[in-house]
Amino acid sequence: MAYVHEFGIIDCIEEYRENEHKPEKYNCIFIDEDLIDEIYHKGFGDKMKKLETFAHNLNRPYKDLAYYGITLIPPTSLKQFLNIINEENIKCKSEEFDKLISIIVKAIKEEKYIIHYGV
C-alpha cells in the first residue's frame, strides 16, 4: 500500500478543529511518501528540522513536519518551506511537487496556514 502526505490551505485558522481529518475541506493534494522521504535523504532534512511549525494545534510549537500526524505551517514559515520544496523539485522534477509549490505560493499571497496530514 502506498502512503501519501496531504497538503492544503486553511482558509480560516480560527475554524480549524484538531480532531477532524477532512482533507477535502482544505482541497488537499496528495504527495507520495517516497517524494517526502527524498527531501530528508538528499540533504534537506536539516532544513526541514528547522522549519517552525505546529504539531496538531497552535498550542504545540514544533519544528519539521509531524510525519505521522498533523502539521500546521504558519505564513511566517512558508517562504522557507517553498525554498526547500523548490530545491528538491529541481533535483527530481515532480508534478506532485509542482502542485505543492502552487499551494505554497497561493498561501503566501493570501497569508494563510498550510495543513499537512502525515501518513
pLDDT in tens, 67-108: 999 999 999 999 999 999 999 888 778 899 999 999 999 999
> Would 71 be classed as within a structural domain?
yes
> Would 85 be classed as within a structural domain?
yes
**Ramachandran region, residue 98 (left: φ > 0; alpha: ψ -120 to 50; beta: rest):** alpha
Look at residue 1 in the predicted model and tell me its pLDDT: 54
Higher per-residue pLDDT: 8 or 91: 8
Domain extent for 52: 7-16+38-117
> Would 30 be classed as within a structural domain?
no
> Would 43 be classed as within a structural domain?
yes
pLDDT tens digits, residue range 36-68? Answer: 998 888 777 889 999 999 999 999 999 999 999
> Would 49 be classed as within a structural domain?
yes
Amino acid in position 11: D
What is the average pLDDT across 24-47?
Answer: 90
> Would 105 be classed as within a structural domain?
yes
> Would 32 be classed as within a structural domain?
no
> Would 69 be classed as within a structural domain?
yes
The alpha helices in the chain, defined as continuous H runs, are 33-41, 45-48, 78-92, 95-110
Q: In which band, very low, low, confident or very high, does the pLDDT at 9 lie, cut at 50, 70 and 90?
A: very high
Number of domains forming the structure of the chain: 1
